[in-house]
A and B are shown apart, each in its own frame.
Chain A
């Protein structure tokens, strides 16, 4: 019985479906956890308790939130493009699931071993902006449209330094396989890429903050200017999906950062997955810290940071990396 089950498990298809299920479950839990963490962190930084009414220390608050979203009516505004309006949230969430497939959570467990894992993640994370565009346009609302326009110019701009820095890491490792990138960092903490490529790490973190539309780069949904940006018109679980997608993208980019810069599952005493998740969530805390520390940038500042600083810096970093790699080999 057991051996039969195991033999089924070794089938690629079963493996694939199983990983998908695990990932989906993980993303759901992650969303709930992150809502709580975000609100608590915001509370601590602003010297207030955060949610504490529902359950002990407010632990059940995210569940209440989720329940509220689930029970709300789904409203489609007048004059909206119905098909696209409904498709956008799904399109926003669906690609994230694929992004987790090549993630090396531990030396043993990877959803799908892939030589091009890094490119796969980059390709599918870049789809999010498309969903934002569709959401903004199909809502037939000027705030949504403005939010979408901002999302496009922002993500198109910040994708460039992101890709270039990731390329520098790939140069150094000589591989796009995430497992191999982790494997190249297992020689002690000083072999982690954060110490080898500090500039790349800084650029990466700034770029992904912008890519995930997090404050201080949250212009596509700037509440004070655009009501809620591209998801102004979304209610109920539609909005919930966008919300879930945002947190899922956060964890994707942080997990990639863990793999690229923090040595992935590598660490003493504890087993691989534990270290992996610990590092990932530490990075997420850093992103939250950003959010509640920095004021929102102006739009011209946002683009200036990218085009005048990040892109030239990342190019210099790339050229230097290439030179050093050539010399070392």
Chain B
């Protein structure tokens, strides 16, 4: 390793260092505020390092990682999302009397794992990043350990993530047995060189296992069962993290893995992906209709969104990176807002995740309601919000390439999705049913950073919805 390598690795090194710093600070003296401050400083430093090191990219650092523009963008997204999660979770964790500080340590390390995932150019890095991310998530999901539901969610995630890791390893082993390469670039080239039509079955099985593992992490439909339970059981900020950083990193990995392989070249795989995307869109939206718990509802909606993302990957071929990245960014911003608000509204005992908790929120908390509504509308894909633009790009890519089946499914089920998002919004705007009978829970005062973050998020959603061209142009310049 030479000096430019270390410079290229700066964000990872800073993240790891700040995790160590947080740990030492906790060991010396427990202080919630300083732990949060340290982690935010670390994230900020890593973020500022990104543009500074941009001129050293693209650079392959050891056979494991590559720092290119794609990695830079996603690293930035992950770091920013983690920072938002940390800001929004401060109040949430400080009302619990049970060791709030280590959450930041684990969040930082999980972010490190996610960054490794998006920089990976080798199966070893992919696996290690995935493990760092998953292992910290086990602990984070079960973090509120006085709630049985959290512990249950943690165990479920542990078992399923372990199974999916086994699939990943097995798939990688099969692929290696056939090609003798574990490097994405090499692998992509070798896969492209495979005779089309009748590829080697071992290779296909290996790729299949790999896809299963990725599908688990992204909660695409046949492998989506864990999502609602874990979304509901995990503490709200952690759910936000799972929904954004963990899935975002995995989606980025999907782009890296499958753009060079030229998917239509592999009919079996292509069919499998198409089926998964269609099933995710259908199942996610239909199952969400039945939910009264907002966290579960968002879980199902996230399944649907991952289906849209996968559709974008299938639609747009070489342009997939841009379309997916735009969609993912919008999705991350909206989901962060939603779960952030749930975290703010939550009390010491339980998360405010039922529709009753939100009933009449408008009359108590107009600002929060406004933000929540914006985010939900964006998730639903209503014009003037960023979600609409994202979906529009996906659909137009589909129409361009004449993928009518997926386009029709996407449009129909987006329409279905509208219904449950609106139900939450209506609940917020309708007067409380039990007004006067039960004193509505005293809501904590909003701190300035929280208000600023929420304003920033909703501005972002509206800005991208009204004037997306600048962001799109930047993306195309960076990734295209």
A/B: CB atoms within 8 Å of each other: no
